[in-house]
Amino acid sequence: MRILAIHGSPRTIRSTTRRLANFVLEGAADAGAATEIIDLADYRIIPCTACEACILNGICVNDDDVPAIISRMKEADALVFGSPVYIDNITGQMKIFFDRLADAIHYQQFSGKYGCSVATTAESGSAEVVAYLNHVLNYLGVVCVGGIGIATEGQSAKVEEYEPAARALGKKLVDAVREGYIDPAQDATLSDNRAYFKNIVEVNKDLRIADYDRWVRMGWIK
Ligand SMILES: Cc1cc2nc3c(=O)[nH]c(=O)nc-3n(C[C@H](O)[C@H](O)[C@H](O)COP(=O)(O)O)c2cc1C
């Protein structure tokens, strides 16, 4: 079992959010998972220009590191998203990456995976950012098992207090991959999302034959 964390702090290895995400991964590793982390700020990610070329075949015209990151996401059984709070939102690095996932969202390419999110802040916005990160995971088709948002009040060492809770979240993620995780509210959200994106898949069925066939196979298009 593979669990991949992706975080959007530009502070990379000095990041408090990375530390929190790493605690989640350590809990998952103790429960038997192979884990890895991606520091988005170390990668070349060109912003989406809405050229819509990806509609044709799912391939972006930009030659950068996003396809490799998406491949690693596809290989993972579970995903952990993390971001510090910047002006009560995710970081620009994280948002530019998310915009590049629009095609993966439309075709629900991460359906069947589990996930969770973490955020750190000085004071404000961590609960909202965790909710947003989990919302994006749901958009991707991922079922979330929880999240942790913390306010350090400027004392980044405070993150250490959350190690037990973060490790428990990592174990919960592993349990979800092994045994499944039932959440009727999220199931309804994911089903609503598929009903919404179905139109895109049907309109482009002659361009995106493999994707269309997968939707039929999954019973999402009858
Ligand atoms: C550009 C910028 C914007 C920030 N915006 C907020 C904010 O809106 N509210 C807040 O309480 N803290 C804010 N912070 C503080 C960070 O959220 C906080 O230090 C966080 O733990 C940093 O995480 P990191 O070490 O993973 O980068 C901001 C920091 C920066 C650099």
Closest CA to 137 of 187, 81, 179, 183: 81
From ligand 1's centre to the CA of 80, what distance in Å? Answer: 19
The best mutation among 17, 22, 85, 94 to test binding of ligand 1, ranked by most ligand atoms within 8 Å of the C-beta, falls on 85
Residue nearest atom 22 in ligand 1 by C-alpha distance: 84
| Measured CA angle at 58 (ends 54, 62), to 5 deg | 55
| Measured CA angle at 88 (ends 84, 89), to 5 deg | 60
Residue nearest atom 31 in ligand 1 by C-alpha distance: 86
- pLDDT for residue 119: 99
Please enumerate, as own/partner, the contacts of 62-67 that have beta carbons within 8 Å and a separation of 24 or more. 66/97, 66/100
Do residues 103 and 55 touch, judged by C-beta distance below 8 A? Answer: yes
Domains, the chain: 2-182 (3.40.50.360)
Residue nearest atom 17 in ligand 1 by C-alpha distance: 121
Q: How confident is the model at residue 191 (pLDDT cuts 50, 70, 90)?
A: very high
Q: How confident is the model at residue 118 (pLDDT cuts 50, 70, 90)?
A: very high
152 lines ligand 1 (CB under 6 A): yes
15 lines ligand 1 (CB under 6 A): yes
- pLDDT for residue 134: 98
Q: What is the pLDDT of residues 132-184, one digit of tens each?
A: 999 999 999 999 999 999 999 999 999 999 999 999 999 999 999 999 999 99
From ligand 1's centre to the CA of 122, what distance in Å? Answer: 6
Q: What is the pLDDT of residues 13-26, one digit of tens each?
A: 999 999 999 999 99
What residue type is assigned to position 80 of the chain?
V
> If you search the block for the tokens 């069947």, which residue do you land on?
112
41 lines ligand 1 (CB under 6 A): no
Do residues 96 and 60 touch, judged by C-beta distance below 8 A? Answer: no
Please state, as a whole number, how many other Cβ atoms lie within 10 Å of the Cβ of residue 116. 31
Q: What is the pLDDT of residues 58-108, one digit of tens each?
A: 999 999 999 999 999 999 999 999 999 999 999 999 999 999 999 999 999
Q: What is the pLDDT of residues 26-37, one digit of tens each?
A: 999 999 999 999
- pLDDT for residue 192: 98
